Amino acid sequence: MANPLSMFEVKDQVALITGASGAFGMVAARILAGAGCKLVLVAGNQAALTDIAEVCRGMGAEVTAINTRPTDEDICADLVAQAIAAYGKLDILVVASGMNKVALINDMTPETFTSVMDANVTQSWLLARAAAGQMKAQGHGGKIVLVSSARGLLGHPAGYTAYCASKAATDGMVKALGCELGATGITVNAIAPTVFRSPLTAWMFEDTEKAAAVRAGFLARVPKGRLGEPEDLAGPLLFLVSKASDFYTGHILYADGGYTAG
């Protein structure tokens, strides 16, 4: 306790991040690169993966970039194996891969619903399964962080049945795995953001009539009175992947400016 900041030290920890070319994945990669982690970055978009890998290398991080998506058991096991081959261990898993397909229920096909559930739930489960097996074998615990959403707790009228269901399932998985793995020293938690600045949401921050109207409706529900910024995710993520959160597992941490509190 004489040096409380040391509880957040993750230098030389090995972190596997899937969805590293997406909005949250890129934020996670930069945060953990800046904190001194060795990174295994995974994404299906080769060009964007190359870009974020170079950004992280420019920050001084060791980076292994793998151009794939965690679509089945063998790929997920191989991602862990490649992390071990590159750096000899795996300390942190951040699952930022996933998708959203928006349609009202009578316009959404069963195949679309299943694809969202597979990307957000089954693939998260497969990655957690592969990582947990390695972390248990290492015998010194580990940190698993899934990405949920405020939509795991709250509905949405604009065709979010697949997404809301998938994030509610993610929350349930986090709680179940937190219980199951508690005695192993592996913690399992989730970050659940609401809208934050990213390439996908940049239009909401613009000075246009449409953006202003959408912001006004959304911000009426946000006690902090603003949309999220990438740096708002830095503290929660660093907490969940560091020793500071060793007694926290099975939690969903809402990075939402109070949106889910009202």
| Catalytic (active-site) positions | 163
Which SS3 state, helix, strand or coil, does residue 148 take? coil
Region at 198 (left for phi over 0; alpha for psi -120 to 50; beta for the rest): beta
Cα–Cα dist 32/15, whole Å: 8
Alpha-carbon dihedral sign for residues 132, 133, 137, 138: negative
Nearby residues of 216 by Cβ (< 8 Å), 6 or more positions away: none
67 near 118, Cβ under 8 Å? no
Strands 63-67 and 186-193: unpaired
Question: Quick one: which H or E segment has residue 177?
Answer: helix 161-181
CA angle 104, 24, 179 (to 5 degrees): 85
